[in-house]
Structure 1
Amino acid sequence: MKKSLFIAINIPPEAIEAVRQLLQADSATYPDLYANARMTPSQDWHITVLYLGEQEEHSIDVIERIITDVARQITIPQLAIKMLTTAPPHRPPRMIWATLLAESNTVLGTFKKGVLQELANHAIHPQGEQFANFNGHITLARLPEGRKIADHAIALAHTIPIPVARIDIMETHLESTGAKYSIVRSIPLLHE
């Protein structure tokens, strides 16, 4: 049986609260931007490290071992959110993202590259487009199609820290109300 999988970092409660306050202030300041936007429930906020797509259920054990092995080689320090922006970059805005600092993207990009290499060694092939540079973000809202708005970017005076204690293998469930996510496996990170 196949499952729609991705590798993610779920956002801890203290970071959720800080982002929620930022989002409330931004939506109060720019109500036209947020008009008819579909907000992502905060319990679904995560940073997708790698979209795997439809994978056989039996491959989950291998994926877990790969994540564990790569995480032993690449330390993932505390991440940090630097900006609230419309997305995707260089295209008509369809979403509002909380984006990561460049240093956070570099570390997660290296981790992702290591995972991709090991997945290929085990004949597990992620589906979907793979981008050269990692652009870590949390999708906070989806904007109505065809919205004609200028790019919106709010740089934070202070970054919002995201402590990373684990990496999760997540499953997407498509429902009439939108995508729902569940944790399939949770891999704790051993910080030195």
Structure 2
Amino acid sequence: MRKNDFTRILLLIISISMFVIGFVISDMNIEILILGILGIVSLVILDRQATKIVELSEGNPKVKTVRLLNMFTLLIVILCFIFASLSPDNQISITEDNKTLIIGLMSVCMMFFGNLSPKIPFNRYLGLRLPWTIRDEETWKVAHRLVGYSSFPIAIIMFIMSFFIDDNTVGMVGFLTWVMIPSIYSFIFYYKKLKGLN
């Protein structure tokens, strides 16, 4: 068995475990602890296997981009884990006390990921992984370029709108818009490209 296959199997097992634990365990403290640990383990595996996953050499700048995004995601998971464990109801929720902070952090994360997204190499683990983006490298590039272009305006609009509209709605609509625009456009691009080849 190739090392890359073992990594895929291990990440699949961790993902399925996280999904099952979310439904099976009723004690929120234990659930947060186990999910946090599994999330951290999977991100560490991704970091250690970055060169094999993206099939590029160690010195390639795109590997550094993958590692930077991975470390940033790891930091977010750890911060969410700490924030959830310290909150009274053991959940990350937008309240009147923390609404500006959470929407602001969401906006910063969107801009950070958006800035780096065009540099993410074609892979199956990190990025906008849709059936059509992981099948065609050109579609992957189009989708991630659009993620980059849309992230700054959406994040800024989302932050401004949070002062006028319900924060949960702003966060949900902003995130869905950020994901849906490149998803739909890349699907249309892929469909037209596929149709043109036939």
| TM > 0.5 | no
Q: Provide the TM-score with structure 2 as the length reference.
A: 0.25
Instruction: Pick the structure with more strand per residue.
Output: 1
Instruction: Pick the structure with more helix per residue.
Output: 2
Higher alpha-carbon Rg: 2
Q: Provide the TM-score with structure 1 as the length reference.
A: 0.25
